[in-house]
């Protein structure tokens, strides 16, 4: 049910949308069959946003830490709201709901998606406890996490340690995600080893339309 273009592209537009959509979904969670835990998490995110965002754009208060904290909240809120919207039965949505949340009705005539020529940008970061964090973005998003509009998600193939693979075919493990920012828990025995992999935007219907593979790497932290 999720549509492209739900969220505004400017920070001020995002802030206005978050402060409209999150309370609206919280108030109407029973009628819209929204998981209370999911919307409760977004309410907490919104509280953090309303604390950090005004300071991050105030030239007398802003710091890199505030701006980074603000930018980290964007995928949390937007991916979380997409997840909520995906769960809402279409039959429950009124015109008022769609207008408030900027949810368009699906086009009943499917347009074939083109082959994805853009490679994925994937930042790989090792976190304590053998946790790997992935942040994906498209060519058009210079800072915020995002999924290519013609993709179903991101596909990553990888090996831990050993010789660096020269192609995706040499990798033994595959993971996929519909989220632009996600984590992978590895074994503690992998700590200190190198994460070698390849990533691509994935078309689940026709793999030939997926993007070219791009090499990614990182270090597994203890």
Q: Edge-to-edge strands of the sheet including 214-219?
A: 173-177, 153-160, 194-202, 214-219
For 172-194, the pLDDT digits (tens) are 999 999 999 999 999 999 999 99
Give the separation between CA 96 and CA 99, rounded to whole angstroms. 5
For 84-134, the pLDDT digits (tens) are 998 999 899 999 999 999 998 765 566 788 999 999 999 999 999 999 999
Which CATH number applies to 121-219: 2.40.30.10, 3.90.1010.10, 2.60.40.10, 3.40.50.2300?
2.60.40.10
Give the separation between CA 192 and CA 195, rounded to whole angstroms. 9
- Work out the angle between the directed axes of helices 11-27 and 36-56 (0-180°, nearest 10): 150
The whole model's pTM is what? 0.56
- What pLDDT score does 145 carry? 85
* DSSP-based three-state secondary structure for 177: strand
Structural domain spans, the chain? 11-101, 121-219
């Amino acid at each position: 049910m999720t549509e492209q273009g739900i969220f505004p592209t400017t920070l001020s537009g995002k802030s206005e949308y978050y402060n409209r959509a999150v309370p609206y979904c919280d108030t109407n969670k029973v009628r819209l069959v929204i998981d209370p835990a999911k919307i409760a998490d977004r309410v907490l995110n919104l509280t953090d946003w309303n604390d950090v965002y005004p300071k991050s754009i105030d030239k007398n208060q802003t710091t890199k830490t505030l701006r980074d904290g603000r930018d980290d909240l964007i995928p949390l809120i937007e991916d979380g709201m997409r997840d909520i919207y995906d769960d809402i039965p279409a039959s429950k949505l009124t015109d008022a709901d769609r207008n408030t949340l900027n949810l368009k009705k699906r086009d009943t005539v499917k347009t074939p998606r083109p082959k994805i020529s853009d490679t994925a940008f994937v930042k790989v970061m090792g976190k304590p406890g053998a946790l790997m964090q992935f942040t994906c973005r498209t060519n058009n998003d210079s800072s915020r996490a995002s999924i290519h509009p013609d993709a179903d998600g991101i596909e990553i193939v990888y090996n831990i340690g050993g010789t660096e693979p020269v192609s995706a075919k040499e990798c033994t493990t595959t993971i996929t995600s519909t989220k632009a920012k996600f984590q992978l828990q590895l074994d503690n025995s992998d700590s200190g080893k190198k994460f070698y992999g390849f990533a691509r935007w994935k078309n689940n219907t026709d793999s030939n339309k997926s993007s070219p593979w791009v090499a990614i790497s990182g270090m597994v932290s203890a």
